[in-house]
Amino acid sequence: MKRSIAALAAAGATVLGSTAVLTMPQASAAAQGCRVDYTVTNQWQGGFQAGVKVTNLGDAVTGWSLKFTFPDAGQKVAQGWNATWSQSGTAVTAANTDWNRTLGTGAATDLGFTGTTTGGNPIPASFTLNGVTCTGSTTTTTTPVTTSTTSTTSTPTTTTTPSPGGTPLAANGQLHVCGTHLCNEANRAIQLRGMSTHGLQWFNSCYNDASLDALANDWHADLLRIAMYVQEKGYETNPAWFTDRVNSLVGEAEERGMYAIIDFHTLTPGDPNYNLDRAKTFFAAVAARNAARKNVIYEIANEPNGVSWGAIKSYAEQVIPVIRAADPDAVVIVGTRGWSSLGVSDGSNETEVVNNPVNAANIMYTFHFYAASHKDNYRSTVSRAAAKLPLFVTEFGTVTATGGGTLDQSSTTAWLDLLDQLQISYANWTYSDADESSAALLPGTCAGSDYGTGRLTASGALVRSRISTADHF
């Protein structure tokens, strides 16, 4: 199985999931100091990924530079985000970008990078912020066994990770939002990768035992997004059938150890409030039916368009309590303005959500892109937003926003590299045999029983090659 981490262990101790927390002692009334939370989120043979949260405990600064030294000469920063990264020998510098150059007292910013290593523990011994040393203790967590956290200032605590099992669901259990990340039962940030169905009213035959087995066992997908259109001959035409079909697919995903996103696929009209009563009825039913399951994620509005963020927020704050009444623990994903582009496609940006977030806990915000149409300015928005908002790419395409055109491999690769670096989960549009270049399966595939690699389109082959690589749970 691709989920095995045994082959990733180096000769020394594994540091997957390691966290280093370093704080400056309070020594004066000015309270000058800093805190750095350094987390090795992924590790593989010859490389690793680290998140760095910098908190300013002193006076406000405009313009900052974080410096640290790797313990081993073989450790190098390969690619970083949310800062300008440089390295000389073992000394590393991360300098502010324009949008995070100011850090007020108590303010924090999240950075990160991927690195290469020839071995050893990639946790620096100390950090400085504008010359102020942040010192303290280091904690190390090793999966998949029971782990202990030690500190010079507190009593050790113990946390048990979920069993790694052979599936994403077995490895991670009930998910929740922690900070800006999707996290598992052990509070470890994770990334899910999978596929979205097409409209069930058109491609219901594509979702059978053979196709779902291929998705789970050959693609090694972590999740299935169940796209239930509301209009376009969807839910409003036969609520009972669509509700039952969604529930059955959630169960099919659970049997295969995959997570399931229940997507209330609103598109036209773009104001989700048009379907407010339908949404309340539908989510009351599916939340009651699936509350005991740990694999369910609720996406309450696919692509709001032609509507203000305030109206979307109002809709969310009315629908989320309906879900919570039956299923208080599941993650809920909220659509954003401009076809879930965080407002970029409407000439706005993420600040409208940052400054006026939905009044609910355990939620994430949707971002959609189509690689041939949405490029650098959209990627820049995601890079900025990911430091402040928990994001989930519930739909993306490798082609144009129409679902057609030529596959843009370069832009798709740039997007998926960014999502991997930021640990943002994603689902590709679509796991279907639609006669369009965004489809993963060749036309006619769903009429048969062969869902192997010979039945993949160029888009399907590219996305499968990314999804089927090892997860770093």
**Residues with active-site annotation:** 303, 395
Q: Where are the domains of the chain?
A: 6-159, 168-467
**Mean pLDDT estimate for the chain:** 85
CATH no. for 6-159: 2.60.40.290
- Copy the structure tokens of residue 345: 């496609």
The predicted-structure confidence for 210-226, as pLDDT tens digits, reads as follows: 999 999 999 999 999 99
- Looking at residue 150, its pLDDT comes to 24
Token pair 């749970």 in the structure block, residue: 473
CATH no. for 168-467: 3.20.20.80
- Measured distance CA(434)–CA(458) in Å, rounded: 13
Q: pLDDT band for position 52 (50/70/90)?
A: confident
The predicted-structure confidence for 84-114, as pLDDT tens digits, reads as follows: 899 999 999 999 877 678 888 878 887 878 7
- Looking at residue 26, its pLDDT comes to 34
The predicted-structure confidence for 364-403, as pLDDT tens digits, reads as follows: 999 999 999 999 999 999 999 999 999 999 999 999 999 9
Q: pLDDT band for position 251 (50/70/90)?
A: very high
